[in-house]
Amino acid sequence: MSFNVPSNIDRNEKEPKYDAIVVLGAVMRWNAENKQWDFPTIMEPEEYSGRIVMGKARAIAASHIQADAEKLLVTGGSNINPETGERASRSQELARLITTRYGVPPEKVIPMGTASASHTMGNVENVIDYLEKNPSASKRRRIAVLSPRFQFERAKEMFDANPYFKEKGIAIDWLIVEDVLAARHPMYKKWAAAVDATPEAATNRAMEKEGLKAFRDKKYKPKS
């Protein structure tokens, strides 16, 4: 069963209301045939424990809402190229997908991930670092974070746990990938429902529940 997310839906242009939309990064997969990195919906068991990652869906959702923000801040860690052994940036590759395939102006998209920040807590730190180094990037004092539904609760608690945003008076809105897509066209809702019914989605829910509990118990050990 294919889980390719449809992508040929018209975008609606809007007046920006956010300083930035943070696009949480996703694990990618090396396509040996095309010699490029792919961002699949589901990773195979031998690749990433058979989990939902929704990389391409994040890129499409980001392209639909890019007019809502001055910038798209793309986070993410890194993957090792299985052929060359070189480390490749997930944030750079996802940013490239957003701009080259889905038409977002390159000047609006900022890859900001680092190899050491291959997890959500690292993403939070990277966002703070960017805002600190670019004071003008938070003139509205409002940002949004784009996340798939399975990642939302844990990611929100990690952002909320960092005092930086409250101290600086920066409000954070949360945008769910599946909701953004479903609002654009009914086919996305059917696609999301099909993905959510897979065994891999059940694996995600169990792992997220475990990770959230560990975070609340201050025993969280980030995984790449």
- Over the stretch 55-67, which tens digit does the pLDDT of each residue have? 999 999 999 999 9
The token pair that represents 152 in the structure block: 């939302």
Distances (CA, A) of 214 to 44, 205, 211, 220: 25, 14, 5, 5
At residue 111, φ and ψ (nearest 5 deg) are: -75, 125
Which pLDDT belongs to residue 146? Answer: 98
Place of tokens 């997930």: 90
Q: What is the pTM of this model?
A: 0.89
Nearest to 38 by CA among 105, 101, 111: 101
Which pLDDT belongs to residue 1? Answer: 44
Q: Which residues pair with 151 in a beta bridge?
A: none
Listed in sequence order, the DSSP H helices in 90-198 are: 90-100, 120-133, 149-161, 164-167, 177-182, 186-196
Which pLDDT belongs to residue 29? Answer: 92
**Superfamily in which the 18-216 domain is placed by CATH:** HUPs (3.40.50.620)
Share of the chain above pLDDT 90, in %: 65
Nearest to 80 by CA among 56, 112, 115, 52: 115
Among 19-33, 62-76, 114-128, the range scoring the smallest mean pLDDT is 114-128
> Looking at residues 155-173, what average pLDDT do you find?
95
pLDDT category at 48 given cuts 50, 70, 90 is low
pLDDT category at 10 given cuts 50, 70, 90 is low
Listed in sequence order, the DSSP H helices in the chain are: 45-48, 55-65, 90-100, 120-133, 149-161, 164-167, 177-182, 186-196, 199-216
* CA atoms lying within 13 Å on the CB side of residue 206: 8
Average pLDDT over all residues of the chain: 88
Q: Which residues contact 4 (CB under 8 A, 6 or more apart)?
A: 41, 56
